[in-house]
Amino acid sequence: MAKVSSREFWIGQLRRSGGLYRVLRGIWRKLRSVALGLGRVFLPFPKGTFSLHKRLGNGVAEGHVFFVSQQVPVFAPGSLVKRSGLNQDGFQPWPVFWARVDRARLSGPNLVLLDDRRRACEEAMFGREYARFDASYNSLVRGIPLRLEGNWTSIVGRLDDGYWHFLMDALTRLHALESFPPDTKILIRPHPAPWQRELFELFGIANRVVEADFTQVELEHYYFSSFTSMTGAWNAYGVDFLRGKLLPHAEADTSREKLYLCRGADWTRGIANDEEVCALMRSRGWKILEPEKLSLREQMGWFSKASVVCGGHGSALTNLLWASPGCRVLELCGDNFVLGSFEWLARCLDLEHSFLLFEGDHRLAFKIDLRRLEERLDNLSL
């Protein structure tokens, strides 16, 4: 979870203006697009994109395609997935593969693979249509790259920060690691958080990770591993991979608790009256949990044995990854920030998911109507 930054605060203030915010955002995007377009012509930016998956299919590259699509279930029109309007049940077909590239040039803050014509790998940026959002695609390619001998792979990418993105978008790229030589090193973002180091320990790769404190590197042998889905989209393969690798390390716990995930007002998309909600849930026999204060093993232990989980939309609900089939989930959301990520995660794991929407403010925070919450809890016999 992340606290509200000054940038987010001022953007929130602008959002309150409605039309003015949309106009200013449109002007900024247009100016930025024009500037980058001109820069791409005259300066050493990446020059377009290429598909490594197509090269693999044409026999130009060595590697393996695990599958080209994941079957997605049908979501109802009133579901969070559909309400979001983000096509979170779409983005198929989505090929999942690995490919070997020798003398590979990786460039920019996100270490995107470039070919010998300075084109950027589409699959390293969530697809060609999303390249414009990637910092590496919008960064100059200059200087002599650091050369690293041996076998390498990377989990550095545009969305590799925060609990949800690191697990679902970055760590799932290790799904192909067993296909690589056993001495393959893994490039990671510099200065990993303690919980990320714990993940590396649980994966058994702590001695193989190397912090990439550079933006230009040439690797003798690079084993590119694709993302297992578009970020925030249906990803049953990634879910199964993470559970198989990590759940055996869950701290043993035989309790079947009802868990409420405490989420104060100072978090992004926070709950304005969280103290009141905590008091209410405590009076009804719920365990109040602050996941960010627990080790990963402890979080997995609590969630794997939980009978019911309730909490505001946020990264703490990523821990539904560890829940057992039949666990009931009540997600609390602001009506101005609707995402179906945890709804589809629940569907992957056969959890019983429901939600409540409350009016969100310009900071994307919302206040829980305690009467509505109690009514829902009564209806669910919780």
Residue extents of the structural domains in the chain: 12-43, 46-237, 250-379
Tell me, rounded to whole angstroms, the distance of Cα 365 from its chain centroid: 21
Residues in the chain: 382
How confident is the prediction for the chain on average, in pLDDT?
Answer: 91
Q: Which of 12-16, 117-121, 236-240 has the lowest mean pLDDT?
A: 12-16
* Joined tokens for residue 341: 């990520």
Measure the CA–CA gap between 184 and 261, rounded to whole angstroms: 38
Residue 292 pLDDT > 60, yes or no?
A: yes
Query: Which residues is 209 bridged to in the sheet?
Result: 186
Per residue in 299-337, pLDDT tens? 999 999 999 999 999 999 999 999 999 999 999 999 988
Residue 195 pLDDT > 50, yes or no?
A: yes
Q: Specify whether the backbone of 91 is left (phi greater than 0), alpha (psi in -120 to 50) or beta.
A: left
Query: What's residue 33's pLDDT?
Result: 67
Q: Model pTM?
A: 0.88
The rounded percent of the chain whose pLDDT value lies above 90 is: 79
Query: What's residue 1's pLDDT?
Result: 40
* DSSP assigned state of 145: P
Q: Which of 19-23, 71-75, 353-357 has the lowest mean pLDDT?
A: 19-23
* DSSP assigned state of 169: I
Position 14 confidence tier, pLDDT thresholds 50, 70, 90: low
Per residue in 92-142, pLDDT tens? 999 999 999 999 999 999 999 999 999 999 999 999 999 999 999 999 999
Residue 253 pLDDT > 90, yes or no?
A: no
Q: Which of 158-167, 264-273, 274-283 has the lowest mean pLDDT?
A: 264-273
Measure the CA–CA gap between 196 and 163, rounded to whole angstroms: 9
Measure the CA–CA gap between 203 and 212, rounded to whole angstroms: 19
The pLDDT of 250-264, averaged and rounded, is 83
* Residue type at 262 in one-letter notation: C
Position 24 confidence tier, pLDDT thresholds 50, 70, 90: confident
Query: What's residue 103's pLDDT?
Result: 98
Beta carbons of 70 and 190 less than 8 angstroms apart: no
Helix (H) or strand (E) holding 331: strand 328-334
Beta carbons of 153 and 186 less than 8 angstroms apart: yes
Residue 247 pLDDT > 60, yes or no?
A: yes
* DSSP assigned state of 231: T
Q: Three-class SS of residue 54?
A: helix
CATH number of 250-379: 3.40.50.360
Helix (H) or strand (E) holding 185: strand 185-188
Query: What's residue 2's pLDDT?
Result: 44
Per residue in 350-380, pLDDT tens? 999 999 999 988 777 899 999 999 999 998 8
Query: Which residues is 182 bridged to in the sheet?
Result: none
Measure the CA–CA gap between 144 and 272, rounded to whole angstroms: 51
Position 219 confidence tier, pLDDT thresholds 50, 70, 90: very high
